[in-house]
Structure 1
Amino acid sequence: MSPIRLSDLAFTLEAVIDEAFGQKAVWVVAETSDIKNYPDRGYCFLTLVERDATSGTSGRDTLAKLDACVWRKNYHTISDFERETGVAFARNIQLLLLVSVSFSPVYGLRLEILKIDPSYTLGNLERERQQVLDTLVQKHPDLVWLEAGQYITANQLLPRPSVMQRLALITAPNSDGWRDFRHELAQNPFGYDFVVDEYLTQVQGQGAERAICSQLERIRSSELAYDAVVIVRGGGSQLDFGSFDTYLMGHTVAGFPIPVLAGIGHERNVSITDLLCHQSVKTPTKAAAFLIEHNRQFEESCLILRERLRVVTREAFQTAREDLDRETERLRFVSQTYFRACHTNLAEKVVTLRHLDPSNVLRRGYALLLRNGRILTQTADVQPNEILQVQMYDGSINIVVSHS
């Protein structure tokens, strides 16, 4: 068999591929790799691969690999995809792509990406997320369970301190999230003081989940009496956000013995960490605002109680004053009545005493029989021929007893 020229082979391949795929577009599922993006020029080169799903999560065999590109006319599909999904267009993402197939005798086979289906990516993310939640409920029913369609966790049921003042902060050093959170706490209009111990670590990207969980374990083993653990991060892509959607994070947060507050800076979706922590807010700034407002509510309740105490005390004093005035008046009336009765009784006794006064009795014709100044009242006490004295009103006389 005589050889053919390379160009003839290339032109033949071009004709065959053009006949099979020319003027056509096909949907393919592939994983991104080796991305070279040029936003200022409006085009992107990358490699699309398919790996063997049966060979495990690491070291999977590559089944197919093709070069692809996005030209200027369709470059907007990248930003459209990122906007709708919140996922950065990066390597190792499985996508559903509408592509056209072309072959150049010089540049070889290439796929031109015409469109990226965001719903496929969102569906994948949601399926993976739901699988994690289902596994947590099945394996750890004491930490995570479903109740009326809502996920309930042991961390959510922890009693919330009346005042959250001593905090453990997990965040990246010198990050926007760190600055926003600290600034909001420091500038609170009520002058509240917070004690914040920082546990600085990586909070996004590969390995972030283990780094965060390692810091949570440090907090647990410290045995310090923290009122809450706060996890914050600044903005980022859905891919960066993935560390908060993992089984390890969900299990650690759901069973953590201190209330966990998450302010991980993602407006679009609710992560597994958001679902299972004690309290979730959207941003680091809102996490700080939540703590300030929580403490403000306690202060307001104290102010309300103080006002109630003031009113109750004033009313109690008023009631006591009225009761005292009433009892004082009653005592005055009872005293006057008592002293009036005593006066009347005393006056009656004075009259009686006057009537019983011996001088007054003698004045009425009575006389007293005396022996040596002692009054005799019985005849048996009198002896014959005895000399006795008779006391009359105007004087006394001596008498001799003739017989007894």
Structure 2
Amino acid sequence: MANKGISLFQLNNRIKGVLKNSFDSDLWIVAEISEVRYNQNGHCYLELVEKDDDTDQIIAKARATIWAYTFRMLKPYFETSTGQRFSAGIKVLINVSIEFQEIYGYTLNIKDIDPSYTLGDIAKRRKEILNRLEEEGVLEMNKEIDFPEIPKCIALISSPTAAGYEDFTNQLENNPSGYKFHYKLFPAIMQGNQAEESIIAALDRINEYEEVFDVVVIIRGGGSTADLNCFDSYWLAFNIAQFPLPVISGIGHERDETIVDIVANVRVKTPTAAAEYLIDSFDEKQSYHESLQEEFYNGINEILLEASENLHYLSNKFSPLVKTILERKSNQLLLANEKLVHSAKQITKSHSFNLKNFKTKLKLGLEHRLSTEKSHTEHLHSKIGIRVGRLLENQKHKLSLHEQSVKYLNPENILQKGYTLTLKDGKIVKDISSLSKNDVIETRFKDGLVESEIQKVNPKKYK
């Protein structure tokens, strides 16, 4: 006689009986939520999965239900305890009863949930992400980028409707010092399942214009701790850590530090604080320039004062010298005159018979001698005057040269002549020994500046 078999209903009914007898009490199970749906009656329908730790492939799957009267209590309890939205992608420890319907098949009825397990899983996953970033050598990469001295051009990632975006722009545009910033908004979704992909896409767009911007600022305003989940993403942190521009994280949460905060070049608490950080960078550079200017002017004043004192000293030194020379020559002239008079008297006594002729000759000789001595004295006086004048002119010329030297040493004049100034860490580079490979240097021209990274240092001396 042929075997007629059993009906499908009979089979399912037997399965139902076996399950009921085998699992006569509730169970605690661990699973990952892969899908969450709600209906208008408040019931929650889930798809639960388990993945292989090595391959990340799904190795088990089940449907689950949380009835409305239970879900109204479990959802706020879970989210308040964990700071995590009850959504797909999280691991949970749940208390379930196993049910089987002949028509709908096998399903799990969720009756309770343990938030502490999810908190532990979140912390574990966060630690794994940080360890992975460190092992890959990218954890500190963005922090190692030198923050620009004047961050003038800003790439801004935010939602255009976020309050944090408005706070940031208002603070930046209305800064008390009147600094001018240029910023460009790259809109992105800042919370939810699409946030990670949206922010990475914004970073990719900014990367196309890397040379235009000085810094990237990521901001959002307020929201719950659960809204920060996307900022603990491995791929978002990986992209920020390796980004070629310094990144400021100002995602608007004071108590919790996300992985994005850890890998960013600068972490601030709020969008307003991000704007203040940029303004403070300008203030610091402004103070530095004012200090240099004051130091430069003080140096000029010291040089001019020293030159003026030298000129005054020389003038005081030569005036008495000239007076002494004139007095000595005058005394010599008087002595010569006395000698001549005395000689004349002696000659008169000895040659009285030729007195008239001798008096005539004596008068002529005396006049000639007086004229000669007078000419010599005038010539000497003129010569001394000329030498003193030349000496004074020479000192004035030296003073003028000092003033020219000061003028030529002004960095602005050097730049105007077509030369450049090379700086490292804000200091002028005077010789090649202070430079190394991969150093970032700043080259100033008369009409701007550029930043360069040294590829090679060659100490060869050119002849």
Partner of 1:45: 44
Partner of 1:392: 358
SS at match of 2:208: helix
SS at match of 1:96: strand
Partner of 1:320: 305
Larger relative contact order (C-alpha < 8 A, sep ≥ 6)? Answer: 1
Q: CA deviation at 1:228?
A: 0.5
Over the residues paired in the alignment, what is the CA RMSD in angstroms? 4.5
Q: Identity, % of aligned pairs? A: 25
Checking the alignment, whether the CA contact within 8 Å between 1:166 and 1:227 is kept in structure 2 is: yes
Post-superposition CA distance 1:45-88 (Å, at most 9, x none): 34362435379557x3543333223636x845533432332211
Partner of 2:370: none
Cα distance in 1 between the residues matched to 2:346 and 2:50: 147
Cα distance in 2 between the residues matched to 1:288 and 1:258: 17
Partner of 1:399: none
Cα distance in 1 between the residues matched to 2:286 and 2:210: 28
Cα distance in 1 between the residues matched to 2:22 and 2:238: 53
Post-superposition CA distance 1:132-180 (Å, at most 9, x none): 23223333x3xx2xxxxxx522x21222122222101122233333323
More helix by share: 2
Letter in 2 for 1:135: R
Letter in 2 for 1:49: L
Q: Aligned in 2, Cα 1:394/1:266: closer, same or farther, shift over 3 Å?
A: closer
Q: Aligned in 2, Cα 1:44/1:193: closer, same or farther, shift over 3 Å?
A: farther
Partner of 1:122: 119
Letter in 2 for 1:269: D
More strand by share: 1
Q: Does residue 94 of the first structure (1) align with residue 95 of the second (2)?
A: no
Residue number among 342, 346, 351 corresponding to 2:329 in the alignment: 346
Q: Aligned in 2, Cα 1:224/1:111: closer, same or farther, shift over 3 Å?
A: same
Residue number among 353, 360, 365 corresponding to 2:347 in the alignment: 365
Write out aligned runs for 1:113-192 (5 A): 113-117=111-115, 119-139=116-136, 141=137, 144=138, 151-153=139-141, 155-192=142-179
Stretch deviating more after TM superposition (62-71 or 166-175): 62-71
Post-superposition CA distance 1:99-118 (Å, at most 9, x none): 5789999x99864534432x
Letter in 2 for 1:91: A
Partner of 2:375: none
Letter in 1 for 2:84: V
Partner of 1:384: none
Letter in 2 for 1:241: L
Cα distance in 2 between the residues matched to 1:177 and 1:368: 124
Partner of 1:64: 62
Cα distance in 2 between the residues matched to 1:203 and 1:45: 26
Q: CA deviation at 1:200?
A: 1.8
Q: Aligned in 2, Cα 1:125/1:268: closer, same or farther, shift over 3 Å?
A: farther
Letter in 1 for 2:52: A
Cα distance in 1 between the residues matched to 2:82 and 2:255: 8
Cα distance in 2 between the residues matched to 1:120 and 1:361: 135
Q: CA deviation at 1:254?
A: 1.7
How many pairs does the alignment contain? 350
Structure 1 residue ranges without an equivalent (≥5):
145-150, 370-387, 397-404
Letter in 1 for 2:305: A
For normalisation by structure 1, the TM-score amounts to 0.68
SS at match of 2:140: strand
Write out aligned runs for 1:1-400 (5 A): 20-21=24-25, 26-32=27-33, 33-36=35-38, 45-47=44-46, 49-53=48-52, 57=56, 60=58, 62-69=60-67, 71=69, 75-98=72-95, 111=109, 113-117=111-115, 119-139=116-136, 141=137, 144=138, 151-153=139-141, 155-236=142-223, 240-303=227-290, 312=298, 316=302, 320=305, 324=308, 328=312, 331-332=315-316, 334-357=317-340, 360-365=342-347, 391-393=357-359
Q: CA deviation at 1:245?
A: 2.7
Q: CA deviation at 1:124?
A: 1.6
Post-superposition CA distance 1:323-361 (Å, at most 9, x none): 8569637743x345324422431232112320343x652
Q: CA deviation at 1:94?
A: 1.8
Checking the alignment, whether the CA contact within 8 Å between 2:92 and 2:113 is kept in structure 1 is: no
Checking the alignment, whether the CA contact within 8 Å between 2:63 and 2:107 is kept in structure 1 is: no
Q: CA deviation at 1:292?
A: 2.2
SS at match of 1:392: helix
Post-superposition CA distance 1:11-30 (Å, at most 9, x none): x97xx679943xxx653323
Cα distance in 2 between the residues matched to 1:30 and 1:78: 17
Checking the alignment, whether the CA contact within 8 Å between 1:31 and 1:93 is kept in structure 2 is: yes
Checking the alignment, whether the CA contact within 8 Å between 1:368 and 1:392 is kept in structure 2 is: no
SS at match of 2:67: strand
Checking the alignment, whether the CA contact within 8 Å between 1:70 and 1:113 is kept in structure 2 is: no
Cα distance in 1 between the residues matched to 2:77 and 2:300: 67
Q: Aligned in 2, Cα 1:101/1:267: closer, same or farther, shift over 3 Å?
A: farther
Q: CA deviation at 1:393?
A: 3.7
Partner of 2:367: none
Letter in 1 for 2:259: I
Cα distance in 2 between the residues matched to 1:198 and 1:99: 48
Cα distance in 2 between the residues matched to 1:368 and 1:254: 121
Checking the alignment, whether the CA contact within 8 Å between 2:210 and 2:245 is kept in structure 1 is: no
Q: Aligned in 2, Cα 1:52/1:301: closer, same or farther, shift over 3 Å?
A: closer
Q: Aligned in 2, Cα 1:197/1:123: closer, same or farther, shift over 3 Å?
A: same
Q: Aligned in 2, Cα 1:278/1:109: closer, same or farther, shift over 3 Å?
A: closer
Post-superposition CA distance 1:176-204 (Å, at most 9, x none): 33323223323333332210112223343
Cα distance in 1 between the residues matched to 2:23 and 2:183: 68
Structure 2 residue ranges without an equivalent (≥5):
1-6, 363-463
Q: Aligned in 2, Cα 1:183/1:17: closer, same or farther, shift over 3 Å?
A: farther
Cα distance in 2 between the residues matched to 1:303 and 1:81: 57
Checking the alignment, whether the CA contact within 8 Å between 1:367 and 1:391 is kept in structure 2 is: no
Q: Aligned in 2, Cα 1:282/1:70: closer, same or farther, shift over 3 Å?
A: farther
Letter in 2 for 1:163: I
Letter in 2 for 1:349: Q
